[in-house]
């Protein structure tokens, strides 16, 4: 039986982390090594110019969260795009503006936090030298990577809900056109080699000089020069001013389990609210994914989504309503649902996609690390000579001033990322998280319910069919039977069936029983769980 476990959405990343664990590195060492490799082999899902949230639990139970959401450039103003608003995505995780100025190109970029968080996690909680942790990513970038099925799927099918097509993002920069396209002008096919020597060079500099080269040194100067030349807002002053946010986890409970989630602007607050509501129902008695189960869980999802839209933002700018995690409030919502009330989620007339990734690790000493990191909907921008794509996080800010999610200099956006650790009686039980944009909290919720209410193994918990309701509609994957959803339609619910067998986030997690970890990688992605 394995004593340590790593699971991620990319086999190359899982292997890199497993090798670190085999050589005595701890969970943070392995997780960050894997994350850096993820930025090489899944370069639109994540990277050093992205954002995210991480949580770790030391062997003595001490817990830490590192929030590294992207921050609006200091030159931004609340009203700079208010006259460009055309609509909102149906899932509620982004706004559609005229000419896609918030979605594609230099205007979409926020000040990135990923690299700083990786570096600080290793510095403060790791056991290896930074250069050694960077080595697998440098080697991978020098060798290139083969296009995997999920990478190719995203390149060719990734845009939806009013967003710019992915191929347009890939082709936005000179580097993108050279690196990601074949001689026929189409994105490279499954199995074809992607080589990006500029990225390898940037990673070598970071390996040698640490995060400072990106935030204060040579790379920062190149970033600023390109942004000025192309009309972007990010400056070296933004990079120099960037700081991660350290917190303790947001605490919740569910049927005797203790939930440790990330603080706002991450999605942990939605996860805790939904669990509080659902604790008032006998979900196991309803049966897994029955009509009653889907109706009940969907109403909890809608309630949390509406509350998030109204009350949740960057706590440095917005007072987050404390009642959202209160058990008494959850009981009130549950009673409304039991009484037949349907929760409502208000959207603008026009309809974050799943462009994120995750890594979860438990080492042989019981230290746990879980991190969700992303580019959001990637901007398409790659500065000449640097090789990495920047995040596109401005797309989620509300262009209307005076709202929880409105633009403000130095402000972080809400995201649904919710790397989560579950304990029971002080013992580690679950380490989990997911990519999937606005669906992340919904996917993590269902996988946790699968473990806590239905005692599923982690492979089964992350593989079971999922559904979501982040609008007034209920989205279901294609393995949810029609005879389950037909009664919902008869009751007046709008049910939207995906053609995909898997979806609604891509959950990756580790279950620990008696100190023994078992991992599950969502089969809808290319990932793998490796025990060492």
**What positions carry a catalytic annotation?**
356
Q: Does residue 419 sit in helix, strand or coil?
A: coil
Residue 463 in contact with residue 523, Cβ under 8 Å? yes
Task: Please report the beta strands in 349-444, taking only residues with DSSP state E, as ranges in sequence order.
Answer: 356-362, 368-374, 420-424, 427-433
Closest listed residue to residue 296, CA positions, set 279, 271, 309, 308: 279
Distance of alpha carbon 300 from alpha carbon 309, whole angstroms: 14
Partnered with residue 444 across adjacent β-strands are none
Q: Give CA 368 to chain center in angstroms.
A: 18
Residue 290 in contact with residue 281, Cβ under 8 Å? no
First-to-last CA distance in the chain? 9
Strand pairing class (63-67; 420-424):
unpaired
**Which residues 6+ apart lie within 8 Å of 345 measured at CB?**
92, 302, 305, 306, 309, 469, 470, 471, 472
Q: Any idea which residue has 């009751």 for tokens?
A: 491
Task: Please give the biggest Cα pair distance in the chain.
Answer: 62
What does the DSSP assignment read for 498-528?
Answer: -S-SS-SS--EEEEEETTEEEEEE-TTSS-E
Residue environment code for 334-362, b if the CB has 16+ CB neighbours within 10 A, otherwise e: beebeeeeebebebeeebbbbbbbbbbbb
Q: Give me the sheet containing 63-67, strands edge to edge.
A: 245-247, 63-67, 51-57, 368-374, 356-362, 5-8, 528-531
Residue 340 in contact with residue 85, Cβ under 8 Å? no
Distance of alpha carbon 226 from alpha carbon 136, whole angstroms: 28
Residue 238 in contact with residue 112, Cβ under 8 Å? no
For residue 148, what are its two tokens? 């995997």
Contacts 24+ apart (CB under 8 A), 401-404: 401/78, 401/79, 401/82, 402/78, 404/309, 404/310, 404/311, 404/312, 404/313, 404/318
Q: Is the dihedral of CA 23, 26, 28, 34 positive or negative?
A: positive
Closest listed residue to residue 175, CA positions, set 13, 44, 357: 44
Q: Does residue 309 sit in helix, strand or coil?
A: helix
């Amino acid at each position: 039986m394995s004593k340590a476990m790593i699971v991620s959405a990319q086999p190359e990343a899982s292997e890199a982390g497993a090798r670190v664990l085999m050589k005595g590195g701890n969970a943070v060492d392995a997780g960050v090594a894997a994350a850096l490799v993820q930025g090489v082999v899944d370069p639109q899902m994540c990277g050093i110019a992205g954002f995210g949230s991480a949580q770790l639990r030391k062997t003595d139970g001490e817990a830490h969260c590192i929030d590294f959401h992207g921050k609006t450039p200091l030159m931004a103003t609340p009203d700079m795009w208010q006259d460009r608003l055309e609509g909102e995505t149906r899932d509620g995780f982004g706004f559609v503006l005229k000419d896609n100025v918030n979605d594609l190109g230099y205007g979409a970029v926020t000040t990135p936090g990923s690299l700083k968080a990786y570096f600080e996690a290793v510095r403060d909680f790791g056991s290896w030298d930074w250069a050694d942790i960077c080595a697998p990513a440098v080697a991978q970038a020098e060798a290139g990577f083969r296009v995997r099925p999920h990478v190719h799927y995203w390149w060719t099918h990734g845009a939806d809900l009013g967003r710019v097509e992915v191929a347009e993002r890939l082709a936005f920069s000179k580097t993108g056109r050279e690196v990601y396209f074949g001689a026929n002008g189409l994105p490279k096919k499954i199995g074809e080699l992607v080589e990006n020597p500029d990225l390898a060079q940037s990673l070598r500099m970071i390996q040698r000089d640490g995060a400072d080269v990106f935030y204060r040194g040579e790379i920062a100067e190149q970033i600023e020069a390109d942004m000025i030349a192309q009309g972007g807002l990010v400056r070296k002053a933004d990079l120099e001013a960037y700081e991660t946010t350290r917190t303790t986890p947001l605490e919740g409970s569910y049927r005797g389990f203790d939930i440790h989630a990330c603080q706002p602007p991450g999605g942990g607050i939605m996860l805790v609210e939904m669990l509080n509501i659902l604790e008032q129902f006998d979900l196991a008695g309803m049966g897994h994914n029955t009509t009653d189960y889907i109706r009940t869980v969907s109403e909890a999802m809608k309630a949390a989504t509406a509350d998030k839209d109204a009350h949740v933002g960057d706590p440095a700018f917005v007072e987050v309503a404390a009642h959202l995690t209160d058990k008494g409030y959850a009981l009130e919502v549950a009673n409304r649902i039991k009484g037949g009330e349907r929760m409502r989620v208000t959207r603008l007339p026009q309809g974050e996609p799943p462009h994120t990734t995750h890594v979860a690790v438990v080492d042989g000493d019981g230290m746990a690390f879980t991190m969700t990191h992303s580019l959001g909907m990637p901007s398409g921008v790659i500065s000449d000579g640097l090789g990495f794509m920047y995040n596109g996080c401005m797309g989620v800010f509300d262009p209307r001033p005076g709202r929880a999610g409105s633009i403000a200099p130095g402000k972080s956006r809400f995201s649904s990322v919710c790397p989560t650790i579950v304990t029971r009686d002080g013992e580690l039980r679950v380490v989990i998280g997911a990519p999937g944009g606005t669906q992340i909290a919904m996917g993590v919720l269902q996988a946790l319910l699968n473990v806590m209410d239905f005692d599923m193994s982690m492979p089964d918990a992350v593989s079971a069919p999922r559904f979501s309701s982040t609008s007034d509609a209920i989205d279901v994957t294609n393995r949810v039977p029609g005879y389950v959803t037909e009664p919902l339609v008869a009751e007046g619910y709008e049910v939207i069936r995906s053609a995909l067998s898997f979806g609604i986030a891509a959950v990756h997690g580790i279950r620990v029983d008696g100190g023994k970890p078992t991992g599950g990688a969502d089969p809808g992605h290319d990932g793998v769980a490796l025990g060492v």
